[in-house]
């Protein structure tokens, strides 16, 4: 889809598109949604699901994000991507001229030609329940890995909603990278047990700005106010930067 540049007014809030991580769904953002400014949309990635026969891969995730972005093609838009959703977002945002910035939250950010596996060495994490022949992976211990600082009732509710994750969703190399075209911000989660903070800091080198939150892997559940404040401030900076470039 070809879009015209969206008009940027630094006094208004851009639209937001929230992209969830692996095993999760749009429901992961429920506590954060009411705290964000402007029009906020979510997207469901096909690589996460309950029906193994219907699981999508990387290309399907990219297409889902682009379809969701098309709904705000006439509006400046900021994409917020968490964890595994960062990979498909990094590809999907390319060529979307109305996207003024990306906020990565403990998300996978790679360079052209790279896969997520290129960021790690050694065997898969012990909390992965791998099913390579069937093409999916489950999370064995989500409570200590994803939700170590989340209130128990919320953590247990979220863990019960986790889905299967397609292995194909993270195995494809990207052919273009959003951070090469639009400003990006990285939020490092300093108490993360899913993606080591040291790995996040390495990926954050692609970003224009880096923030740290004293949270586990899911700050949208453990400290939604603080995460919302970061996103809101970044939206303002993205809008100002876009207006300066047009001047």
Q: According to the model, what pLDDT value does residue 193 have? A: 98
| pLDDT at residue 241, as a whole number | 86
Domain residue extents for the chain: 15-241
pLDDT value of position 172: 80
Instruction: Tell me: pLDDT of 80 over 90.
Output: yes
Q: Where are the alpha helices (DSSP H) in 151-194?
A: 152-159
Examine the pLDDT at 10 and tell me if it is beyond 80.
no
Rounded Cα gap, residues 195 and 192, in angstroms: 6
Which are the contacts of 118, defined by CB distance < 8 A and separation ≥ 6? 110
Is pLDDT at 247 greater than 50 in this prediction?
Answer: no
pLDDT value for 1:
35
Q: What is the mean pLDDT of residues 50-75?
A: 96
Are residues 1 and 73 in contact, defined by beta-carbon separation less than 8 angstroms?
yes
Kindly report each contact of residues 60-65 with a partner whose C-beta sits within 8 Å and lies 24 or more positions away, as own/partner.
61/85, 61/87, 61/88, 61/92, 61/169, 62/88, 62/91, 62/92, 63/92, 64/88, 65/17, 65/19, 65/89, 65/92, 65/93
Radius of gyration of the chain (CA): 17
**Model confidence at 244: pLDDT above 90:** no
Checking if the pLDDT of 246 tops 60, the result is no
pLDDT digits (tens, 9 = 90+) for 22-45: 999 999 999 999 999 999 999 999
- List, for residues 144-194, the tens digit of each pLDDT value: 999 999 999 999 999 999 999 999 877 788 999 999 999 999 999 999 999
Q: How confident is the model at residue 115 (pLDDT cuts 50, 70, 90)?
A: confident
The CATH code that applies to domain 15-241 is 3.40.50.1820
- Mean pLDDT, the chain, rounded, equals 92
- 244 is written with which tokens? 């300066």
Instruction: Using the Cα atoms of residue 42, residue 45, residue 51 and residue 53 in order, give the sign of their dihedral.
Output: positive
51 closest CA partner among 219, 127, 163: 163
Q: Report the percentage of the chain scoring pLDDT > 70.
A: 93
In this predicted structure, what is the pLDDT of residue 19?
98
- pLDDT of 124 over the 60 cut: yes
DSSP 220: H
Place 221 in a pLDDT band, splitting at 50, 70 and 90. Answer: very high
Whether the pLDDT of residue 7 is over 70: the answer is: no
pLDDT, residue 191, reads 98
pLDDT at 8 over 70: no
According to DSSP, residue 9 is labeled -
DSSP 8-class letter at 13: P
Candidates 121, 88, 124; CA nearest to 107 is 88
Residue 2: per-residue pLDDT:
37
Q: What is the pLDDT of residue 11?
A: 56
In 3-state terms, what secondary structure has residue 197? Answer: helix
């Amino acid at each position: 889809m070809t879009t015209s540049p969206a008009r940027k007014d630094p006094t208004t809030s851009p639209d937001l598109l929230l992209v969830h991580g692996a095993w999760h769904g749009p429901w992961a953002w429920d506590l954060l949604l009411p705290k964000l400014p402007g029009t906020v949309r979510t997207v469901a990635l096909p690589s996460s699901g309950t029906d193994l026969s219907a699981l999508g891969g990387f290309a399907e995730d990219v297409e889902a994000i682009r379809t969701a972005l098309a709904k705000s093609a006439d509006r400046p838009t900021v994409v917020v991507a968490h964890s595994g959703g960062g990979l498909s977002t990094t590809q999907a945002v390319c060529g979307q001229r109305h996207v003024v910035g990306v906020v990565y939250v403990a998300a996978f950010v790679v360079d052209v030609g790279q896969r997520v596996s290129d960021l790690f060495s050694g065997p898969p994490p012990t909390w992965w329940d791998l099913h390579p022949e069937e093409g999916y992976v489950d999370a064995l211990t989500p409570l200590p890995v994803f939700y170590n600082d989340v209130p128990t009732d919320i953590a247990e509710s979220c863990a019960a909603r986790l889905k299967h994750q397609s292995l194909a969703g993270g195995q494809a190399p990207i052919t273009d990278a959003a951070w090469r075209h639009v400003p990006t911000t990285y939020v490092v989660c300093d108490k993360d047990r899913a993606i080591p903070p040291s790995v996040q800091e390495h990926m954050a080198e692609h970003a224009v700005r880096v923030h740290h939150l004293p949270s586990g892997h899911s700050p949208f559940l453990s400290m939604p106010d603080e995460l919302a404040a970061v996103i809101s401030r970044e939206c303002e900076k993205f809008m100002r930067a876009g207006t300066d470039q047009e001047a």
